[in-house]
Chains A and B, each alone.
Chain A
Amino acid sequence: MSTLYYYEDFIVDESWHSIGVFSSTKDQIIDFASLYDPQPMHLNEAAGKASMLGGLASSGWQTGALLIKQMVEQLLTNTVNYGSPGVKEAHWLAPVFPDDCLSVRYKVLLKRVSNSKPHMGIIDFLIEAANQDDIKVMTMVSTQFIGLKTGGQT
């Protein structure tokens, strides 16, 4: 069993924490887009080339899903997690192409204890993904409910 992290363990500061790398194959990009975002530039090469993206590129919704996956697998499964109320903002900054290697990192932007549920804290994480050329492809500010070590948990 790995260490369990509580609200108190997260510090608001400027430090970045790496949470791994991921990539998507062309087939994975097409699979996701077929259901969630069936626009031609996510489904075929020629349409991708003709679009603003410049090639068959991943749906931004898939990149976002994969940022959240990295957060869940590398961090949130090891916290006392009560889910997420939403995403304050997200920016799609550059296209993601098949087999691009994306590195993900986060920092803690702000935190406070919930007024209505004092056993729970509310933390905003800034999450960033950059590709193998160090070009930032996506950022998002995701809010998470994380349990307190002290208070309400007795």
Chain B
Amino acid sequence: MSFYFEEIEIGEVLDLGDFKFTAELIKSYSEIYDPLPFHLDEEAARNGPFGAIAASGWQVSAIWMHCMCRTLHQLAEDRLSLGEPVAKMGPSPGFKNMRWLKPVLAGDVISYECEITNKRTTNSRPEWGILFIHNRAKNQHGEMVMEFDGIVFVERNIVLKEGN
């Protein structure tokens, strides 16, 4: 992570950047984790439900995590270069309402973003705050391909916390 819990505002949107799904990347994931014909084989995919080779929905979601880590890493570097402290991110307890709305086909470029929908503190873990986030992925035509509601733990800033 980079920002402390106290610095993050409800309604903020974080741009997580783009990711290109090549046929090679789709197949290398599907071979191991989702070996259905329409994720693996160009010929089968042409006659399948999507008309072309499509990424496993779970891969489209897991790449969200890649883009989130990439963005937070960059933000952390920026803060460190300014001499500012960097907040830790804790493990996620889970998510809800993950929807795969349109197939992601080989060659598609997907843009990801994350909106802060709510935040709260907990008594059981006073050093951590909980963020509720709504995540979206769109393809190069601007069509929404995936969304879900996530939960993450973010470190609290003792100085900011005591100032409140």
Q: Which residue numbers of A lie inside 8 Å of B, CB to CB?
A: 35-39, 41, 51-53, 59-61, 64-66, 68-69, 72-73, 76-77, 81-92, 95
A92 touches B90 (CB 8 A): no
B33 touches A69 (CB 8 A): yes
Interface residues of B in 52-94 (CB under 8 A from A): 56-59, 61-63, 65-66, 69, 73, 89-94
Q: Is the interface of B mostly helix, strand, loop or mixed?
A: mixed
A76 touches B33 (CB 8 A): no
B132 interface contact, C-beta 8 A: no
Residues on A with C-beta less than 8 A from B94 are 89-92
In order of increasing CB-CB distance, the 7 nearest A-B pairs are: A91-B94, A86-B99, A87-B98, A61-B62, A65-B33, A36-B62, A89-B96
B66 touches A37 (CB 8 A): yes
Some 26 contacts from A to B, beta carbons below 8 A apart, are: A36-B62, A38-B69, A38-B73, A41-B91, A51-B90, A61-B58, A64-B58, A64-B62, A65-B33, A65-B34, A65-B58, A65-B62, A68-B33, A69-B34, A83-B36, A83-B38, A84-B57, A86-B97, A86-B100, A86-B148, A87-B95, A87-B148, A90-B96, A91-B93, A91-B94, A92-B92
